[in-house]
């Protein structure tokens, strides 16, 4: 078992051995050290001239000599079309020195039933961590139906059903601009967060080609890691390279959850656990250099995005 990958181990657990019959996929080997500064990086062409950093212009901006509408829009971090629309300006956008240019009101999204911060972020093409910070929402990122979520200037709907303006609406709409991420499968158990903390790494493929089959949650060393749903311990050990001290739980409907990088395991194979039961203590074992919990949900052997299943 020492050379077995997580996907094959889960296949054994879910009695889907055929999935590992040939060329088993190696476990998701994500280097989380890059998340140590809490920031993210974006790639840009080296030949590109860096854009001037946007400043907060408040509710208005006073036109100065030689200002143009496009320069004001860039300086204040808003779109030129929104700026023109807000001030009733049309081409050639003539301005006069001393004129006050009103800033567009920040767009908001009204939370609908069944939405979470992750799905709202996907809809507008904004990382949910940025939305949380922008609105002062801490982990586990709980929001309520009818709550207004302020969106960064320039946020646009990432997926649409019909044409028209992609500007965020300030009123709820049941039929327009609805983003529909892959829903949780019918009959799936509801899962709780295994620990409270900032999400360091989200689910999916990264620009460098690596893939994270779960999410990574920041945690103090020794913090309690809890079972996300009732189930049975089907693995507890450190034999899978990269995962450190790992616990796998089997749940109803063929689902398996994984909890990695622990400093200490508090359950053994065969144990029956209840929702919320402490199963481990958080740590930095495996291929990480800061305490965290790598959490996965798998339907059979297939990893699914935990953010679509966590309540």
Window from 3-17, 26-40, 70-84, 138-152 with minimum mean pLDDT:
26-40
Check whether domain 60-102 has CATH 3.10.350.10, yes or no: yes
Q: Sign of the CA dihedral 285, 286, 289, 295?
A: negative
**C-alpha closest to that of 123 among 133, 105, 134, 110:** 110
6-35+188-308 and 106-169 have identical folds: no
Task: Give the domain 6-35+188-308 fold.
Answer: Glucose Permease (Domain IIA) (2.70.70)
Domain boundaries, the chain: 6-35+188-308, 60-102, 106-169
The CA–CA distances, whole Å, from 195 to 8, 59, 140, 216 equal 26, 40, 9, 10
Q: Could you tell me which residue, 120 or 2, shows the higher pLDDT? A: 120
Written as six digits, the tokens of 153 are 């200037």
User: What percent of the chain is modeled with pLDDT above 90?
Assistant: 26
Write the DSSP string, 209-230.
S-EESSEEEE--TT-EEE-SSS
Q: How many CB atoms lie within 10 A of CB 88?
A: 7
Q: At what angle do helices 128-135 and 117-124 cross, to 10 degrees?
A: 110
Q: 34 pLDDT exceeds 80?
A: no
Answer left, alpha or beta for residue 126, where phi above 0 means left and psi between -120 and 50 means alpha. Answer: beta
Measured distance CA(246)–CA(235) in Å, rounded: 8
pLDDT at 224: 96
Q: What's the whole-model pTM score?
A: 0.50
**pLDDT per position as a tens digit, 123-162:** 777 777 788 888 888 766 778 877 888 887 656 655 433 3
Q: Which CATH class is domain 106-169?
A: alpha beta
**pLDDT per position as a tens digit, 75-87:** 887 778 878 888 8
């Amino acid at each position: 078992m020492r050379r077995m990958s997580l996907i094959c181990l889960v296949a054994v657990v879910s009695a889907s051995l055929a999935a590992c019959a040939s060329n088993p996929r190696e476990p998701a080997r994500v280097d989380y050290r890059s998340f140590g500064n809490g920031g993210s990086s974006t790639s840009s062409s080296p030949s590109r001239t860096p854009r001037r950093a946007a400043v907060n212009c408040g509710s208005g901006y006073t036109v100065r000599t030689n200002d143009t509408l496009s320069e004001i829009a860039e300086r204040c971090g808003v779109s030129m079309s929104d700026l023109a629309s807000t001030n009733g300006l049309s081409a050639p956008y003539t301005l006069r020195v001393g004129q006050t240019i009103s800033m567009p009101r920040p767009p908001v999204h009204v939370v609908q039933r069944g939405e979470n911060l992750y799905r709202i972020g996907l809809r507008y093409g904004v990382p949910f961590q940025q939305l949380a910070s922008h609105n002062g929402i801490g982990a586990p990122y709980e929001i309520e139906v009818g709550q207004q979520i302020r969106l960064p200037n320039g946020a646009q709907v990432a997926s649409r059903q019909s044409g028209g303006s992609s500007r965020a609406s300030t009123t709820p709409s049941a039929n327009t601009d609805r983003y529909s991420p892959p829903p949780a499968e019918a009959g799936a158990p509801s899962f709780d967060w295994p620990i409270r903390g900032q999400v360091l790494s989200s689910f999916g493929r990264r620009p460098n080609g690596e893939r994270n089959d779960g999410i990574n949650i920041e945690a103090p060393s020794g913090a309690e890691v809890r079972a996300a749903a009732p189930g049975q311990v089907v693995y507890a050990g450190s034999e899978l390279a990269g995962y450190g001290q790992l616990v796998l739980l089997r749940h109803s409907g063929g689902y398996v959850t994984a909890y990695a990088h622990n400093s200490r395991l508090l359950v053994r194979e065969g144990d029956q656990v209840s929702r919320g039961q402490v199963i481990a203590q958080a740590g930095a074992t495996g291929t990480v250099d800061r305490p965290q919990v790598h959490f996965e949900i798998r339907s059979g052997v297939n990893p699914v995005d935990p953010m679509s299943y966590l309540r």
